[in-house]
């Protein structure tokens, strides 16, 4: 099968639409907007404790500081509860706070220095209350968010009972900060008649519009939210940008002045939620060959103090607990726990990485138990014909996983390197050297929102009379290149160079009721909507071209319209069939059966003069979806993005430091719209995930306050952490026909391949420890690695 897979080469991708302005520093972000006269700076007053009663909140001294203009509290909020799924979170807390960082007041001043002095003058007296700070405590106290969910197939108890071999374990997974370079930010301008114009660094302009409107007591029609671009989002601005915008909007509404709120990196990290921590209990049954017979898993997540998106994140973790492997008898239960931490939220991969971490860890453990290579265990259990239906009942179509495993195994010389590493580790054990590990893992990531109604998008395409095109969609550009991808789709449809297409800022007055740019579906739904709009415009232009062929050129509108003597062209009923007779290519429109050809710009001019519409609104909804959340069964996803990665690591046995020596990635992205951007997403996503599984350690004090809230205390990957050898390739796949242009989503799936680094670290540790099955929490920090290498040295600590 691997022989049928061929890697792609870049045939000349368009560059990122903002690459030049990024490099020259001309890209405009929210805080780059010029200050207006009378504009106010906003700052937040928030709790230092995980759970506390606010005895008093005294803003009087702050309001007497010169330059401090106003403050808002919960009393100023018309509708003080919000939430993406459950409306359970106050915009501004009242008497009781549920996490360190929960906001109780907003202060506004005319200068930054006055704002800082005013914030220092705020007096708050707190009474600390008991807080739940571990998942175990939440389970004991039955502190939960939502109901427990179950997705199951087969008879798990009977299959476990009949399994020749069984393993039990617990997988501990911490959270991680999004660490976007642009912190949460919003600028709000009061307009006439009580309207508000909101510029927000948000992945979900529609939700931000709605939360602002409700907080201020306005109809949605009176609030416009605009998101030109984001300096990174990664899920952290899907829901949690909304209250930030509401804080600025409340000040603007109260004062009638523009208001700006831009969080510092420290405040941003303290206030905002992270990737959900998980604690997973499991039992697995398997044969002597390592074939999975049954898996019973209980997933608990830390949702933080409020629901946010945690129940949906749990659902995706449950849906991805099989990853690339078929389990005939499988039961996955999921329960979100309510703890006193910032409400955790979406993060690249959503819940998928946690489910995949579970099954990939199990693959490594089974390999130890059966004394086989972990890759052979993975290949034995991989989805294949006859075993190609998930535990939630969706058939795995266009399955390339067996071939991907085989091809990467050959391409990265896995077998020879495994033998070499075994020899190295034997020598290292004798000579106090550093152990090495190698692991090859997979990803099968479902593409679509599991909440059905979110799988829709819209686009407005406007063709101007000079032949240039403006496109507005609900997709938000946050560095991932969605604008370039959609512009490419539009340019190809209209037969124009991409330079003729301008992507406009995302705004709720042009694209309303949009879904968040999330779930790796930004191009899928918005690009397809833009394509539909283009097709309608092309139908009209094609029908016009067929008419113009029969009309002498001297009678065309551009020569006769000014005189009023033009014979007006009326499009007939054949508009639906005209497109099949005409091609749009190289900025020309050509009738296929004749030699008639007209420059695109001339045809557009004729359309305008003949009063034929040159703009179109396209709406697209993803078809064929039908997942029953109650039963846990059905088609949850339109398709799956698939890939494999092999990672080799070396561990300093004296410090626990991990060096990633080599990474090889092979991914199926269908027919990429933009090879260069997709490859950038593959490598960038992998490195971001690598930080999560190795160095990004969130540390809280006893009061639940985040201590690692800056670059000096929270270590994201640097250039020194990237693999010494880093190979990434895409395979050619024409078999994916369900998505726009035959492409596959790339935003989230590559991140999950980072788990090959974690399992490679486990491989090194377990090899060093005589192939014992040794658990290792995520992130595998140097301290954790060192403890796993030499637990006896830490037994008394």
Is 49:704 a contact under the CB 8 Å cutoff?
A: yes
What is d(CA 311, CA 307) in angstroms, rounded to the nearest whole number? 7
At 28 the three-state DSSP class reads coil
CA dihedral of 449, 298, 145, 99, whole degrees rounded to 10:
-100
Write out the two tokens for 584: 């749009």
What is d(CA 628, CA 459) in angstroms, rounded to the nearest whole number? 29
What is d(CA 596, CA 575) in angstroms, rounded to the nearest whole number? 18
Nearest in space to 335 (alpha carbons), one of 301, 380, 370, 377: 301
Nearest in space to 670 (alpha carbons), one of 769, 745, 619: 745
Q: Largest Cα–Cα distance of the chain, in whole Å?
A: 99
Nearest in space to 362 (alpha carbons), one of 165, 175, 650: 165
What is d(CA 780, CA 275) in angstroms, rounded to the nearest whole number? 16
Beta-strand relationship, 123-128 and 81-82:
unpaired
Peptide bond into 614 cis (omega under 30): no
What is d(CA 448, CA 515) in angstroms, rounded to the nearest whole number? 11
748 labelled catalytic: yes
What is the H or E stretch that residue 680 is in? helix 675-694
Residue position matching structure tokens 């540790």 = 765
CB atoms within 10 A of CB 113: 13
What would the DSSP string read from start to end of 408-436?
HHHHTTHHHHHHHHHHHHHHHHHHT---E
What is the H or E stretch that residue 362 is in? helix 352-370
HEC assignment per residue over 217-269: CCCHHHEEEEECCCCCCCCCCCCCHHHHHHHHHHHHHHHCCCEEEECCHHHHH
* Marked catalytic residue, from 477, 648, 748, 783: 748
Is 696:779 a contact under the CB 8 Å cutoff?
A: yes
- For the chain, state the CA radius of gyration: 28
Q: How would you classify residue 142: left for phi > 0, otherwise alpha for psi between -120 and 50, otherwise beta?
A: left
What is the H or E stretch that residue 158 is in? helix 156-161
Is 498:491 a contact under the CB 8 Å cutoff?
A: yes
CB atoms within 10 A of CB 600: 21
Is 447:39 a contact under the CB 8 Å cutoff?
A: no
203 phi, psi to nearest 5 deg: -85, -10
CA dihedral of 270, 271, 274, 278, whole degrees rounded to 10:
90
The per-type count for the chain, helices as H runs and strands as E runs, is: 22, 31
Write out the two tokens for 730: 């895409």
Q: How would you classify residue 63: left for phi > 0, otherwise alpha for psi between -120 and 50, otherwise beta?
A: alpha
Is 545:597 a contact under the CB 8 Å cutoff?
A: no
Active site residues: 748
């Amino acid at each position: 099968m691997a022989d049928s897979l061929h890697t792609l080469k870049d045939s000349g991708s368009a560059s990122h639409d903002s690459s030049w302005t990024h490099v020259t520093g001309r890209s405009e972000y929210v805080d780059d907007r010029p200050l207006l006269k009378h504009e106010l700076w906003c700052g937040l007053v928030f709790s230092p404790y995980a759970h506390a009663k606010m005895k008093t909140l005294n803003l009087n001294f702050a309001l007497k500081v010169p330059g401090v203009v106003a403050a808002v509290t919960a009393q100023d909020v018309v509708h003080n509860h919000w939430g993406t799924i459950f409306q359970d979170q106050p915009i501004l807390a009242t008497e009781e706070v549920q996490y360190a960082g929960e906001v109780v007041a907003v202060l506004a001043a005319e200068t930054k220095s006055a704002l800082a002095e005013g914030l220092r003058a705020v007096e708050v007296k707190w009474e600390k209350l008991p807080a739940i700070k571990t998942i175990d405590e939440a389970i004991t106290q039955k502190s939960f968010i939502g109901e427990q969910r179950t997705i199951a197939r087969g008879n798990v108890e009977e299959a476990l009972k009949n399994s020749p071999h069984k393993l039990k374990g617990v997988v501990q997974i911490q959270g991680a900060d999004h660490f976007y370079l642009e912190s949460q930010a919003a600028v709000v301008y009061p307009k006439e008649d009580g309207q508000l114009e909101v510029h927000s660094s948000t992945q979900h302009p529609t939700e931000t519009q709605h939360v602002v409107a409700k907080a201020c007591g306005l109809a949605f029609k009176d609030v416009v939210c605009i998101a030109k671009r984001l300096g990174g989002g990664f899920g952290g601005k899907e829901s949690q940008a909304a209250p930030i915008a509401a804080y600025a909007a409340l000040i603007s509404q109260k004062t009638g002045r523009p208001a700006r709120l831009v969080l510092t990196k420290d405040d941003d990290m303290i206030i905002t939620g992270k990737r959900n921590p998980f604690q997973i209990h499991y039992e697995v049954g398997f044969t002597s060959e390592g074939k999975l017979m049954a898996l019973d898993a209980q997933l608990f997540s830390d949702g933080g103090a409020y629901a946010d998106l945690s129940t949906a994140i749990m659902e995706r973790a449950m849906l991805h607990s099989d990853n690339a492997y078929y389990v005939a008898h499988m039961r996955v239960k999921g329960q979100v726990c309510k703890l006193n931490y910032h409400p955790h939220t979406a993060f690249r991969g959503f819940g998928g990485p946690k489910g995949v971490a579970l099954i990939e860890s199990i693959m490594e453990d089974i390999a130890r138990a059966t004394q086989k290579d972990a890759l052979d265990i993975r290949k034995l259990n991989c989805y294949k014909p006859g075993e190609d239906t998930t535990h939630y009942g969706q058939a795995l179509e266009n399955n390339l996983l067996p071939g991907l495993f085989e091809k990467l195994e050959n391409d990265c010389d896995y077998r020879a390197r495994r033998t070499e590493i075994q020899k190295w580790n034997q020598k290292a054990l004798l000579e106090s050297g550093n152990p090495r590990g190698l692991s090859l893992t997979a990803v099968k990531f479902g593409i679509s929102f599991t909440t059905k109604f979110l799988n829709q998008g819209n686009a407005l395409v406007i063709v101007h009379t000079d032949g240039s095109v403006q496109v507005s969609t609900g997709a938000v550009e946050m560095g991932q290149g969605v604008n370039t991808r959609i512009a490419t789709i539009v340019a190809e449809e209209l037969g124009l160079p991409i330079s003729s297409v301008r992507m406009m800022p995302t705004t709720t007055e042009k694209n309303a009721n949009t879904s968040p740019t999330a779930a790796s579906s930004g191009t899928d739904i918005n690009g397809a909507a833009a394509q539909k709009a283009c097709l309608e415009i092309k139908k009209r232009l094609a029908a016009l071209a067929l008419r113009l062929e029969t009309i002498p050129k001297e009678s065309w509108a551009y020569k006769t319209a000014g005189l009023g003597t033009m014979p007006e062209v009326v499009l007939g009923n054949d508009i639906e069939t005209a497109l099949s007779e005409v091609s749009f290519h190289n900025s020309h429109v050509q009738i296929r059966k004749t030699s008639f050809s007209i420059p695109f710009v001339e045809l557009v001019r004729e359309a305008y003069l003949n009063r034929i519409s040159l703009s179109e609104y396209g709406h697209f909804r993803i078809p064929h979806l039908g997942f029953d959340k109650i039963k846990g069964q059905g088609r949850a996803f339109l398709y799956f993005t698939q890939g494999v990665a092999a990672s080799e690591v070396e561990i300093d046995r004296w410090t626990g430091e991990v060096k990633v020596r080599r990474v090889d990635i092979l991914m199926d992205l269908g027919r990429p719209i933009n090879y260069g951007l997709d490859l950038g997403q593959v490598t960038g996503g992998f490195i971001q995930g690598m930080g999560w599984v190795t160095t990004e350690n969130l540390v809280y004090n006893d009061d639940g306050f985040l201590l690692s809230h800056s670059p000096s205390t929270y270590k994201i990957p640097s250039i020194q952490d990237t693999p010494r050898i880093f190979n990434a390739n895409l395979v050619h796949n024409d078999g994916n026909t369900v998505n726009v242009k035959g492409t596959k989503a790339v935003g989230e799936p590559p991140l999950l391949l980072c788990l090959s680094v974690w399992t490679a670290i486990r491989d090194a540790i377990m090899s060093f420890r005589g192939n014992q099955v040794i658990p290792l929490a995520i992130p595998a920090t140097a301290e954790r690695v060192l403890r796993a290498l030499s637990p006896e040295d830490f037994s008394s600590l």
